[in-house]
Structure 1
């Protein structure tokens, strides 16, 4: 995608090259990751970015990422991602979703992370609405 801001290009390039140091350098020291759909997964600091991506590169040695869409407004960079590869156990790895970054001085300072594993077995839209609106045991 030719119109990606430099930050996004650097992040995609570092990730696809499996260059952990270049990838970690895309994030501020005090980076804050929020995961609104799974609040306990949020974290602070780029050392957690390092731990996360070390584990991902080890578990999915051929992982590649693509940014399918990108929009920029003030400091916010809205990005739609696809991450794919093959896990060490031979199974497919496929995640899709949106990450909204706030970027300052060429580094992410915050992100709202909406990337999820792709699944194909939970049923259709009617099943999803029924599941989201039915009473669940406490």
Structure 2
């Protein structure tokens, strides 16, 4: 198993997209997305979008701003509905030398051998946000500036 873990992902468009991403091959990545691709970001609804043009814009910025960006797949499974669930992370160095790391899950919907949609749960890794007791306390009591339904 190589360090990227991409072989955990079944053969198909998601695996090809990840392989292209680790090569920083934007055109290779884009060939795996449906033109009407829909990205839903439930934790940050305003970040949801439709269309592969936004995928291109996002990855162009990521490759430019994080020139050593790498993606790692930690686990993957195909659900009974054919959706591909993937736990993954990424890491890259910004021009100022600081490191950006994110981790989470993406749930992909495939259509006609293309990535048609994703439920996207990728968040920056935060090593300084407190322990589990603090997190539960903030969930119950609310954090300063926290969201209210």
Q: TM bucket by the smaller chain? A: over 0.9
1:8 Cα deviation after fit: 2.4
1:121 aligns with 2:131: no
Deviation at 1:3, TM superposition (A): 4.4
Compare the two structures and name the one with the higher strand fraction. Answer: 1
Alignment of 1:106-117 (within 5 A): 106-117=113-124
Q: Aligned with 1:29: secondary structure?
A: strand
RMSD, aligned α-carbons: 1.5
- Structure 1: segments with no counterpart, 5+ residues: none
* Unpaired segments ≥5 residues, structure 2: none
Is 1:56 matched up with 2:45? no
Matches within 5 A, 1:73-92: 73=79, 74-92=81-99
Q: Structure 1: how far apart are the matches of 2:94 and 2:41?
A: 23
Q: Whole-Å Cα distance in 2 between the matches of residues 35 and 126 of structure 1?
A: 27
1:26 CA displacement:
1.5
* 1:10-45, Cα deviation, whole Å (9 max, x unpaired): 011110010111111211000100000010000000
- 2:42 corresponds to which of 26, 36, 41: 36
TM-score by length of 2: 0.87
The corresponding residue for 2:51 is 45
Q: 1:117 to 1:3 in 2, by over 3 A?
A: closer
Task: Report the more deviating stretch, 96-105 or 3-12.
Answer: 3-12
Deviations 1:93-127 (A, max 9, x none): 11100000001122111100000000111100011
Structure 1: distance between partners of 2:82 and 2:49: 20
Look up the SS of the partner of 1:120 in the other structure: coil
Does the 8 A contact of 2:41 with 2:48 survive in 1?
A: yes
TM-score (norm 1): 0.94
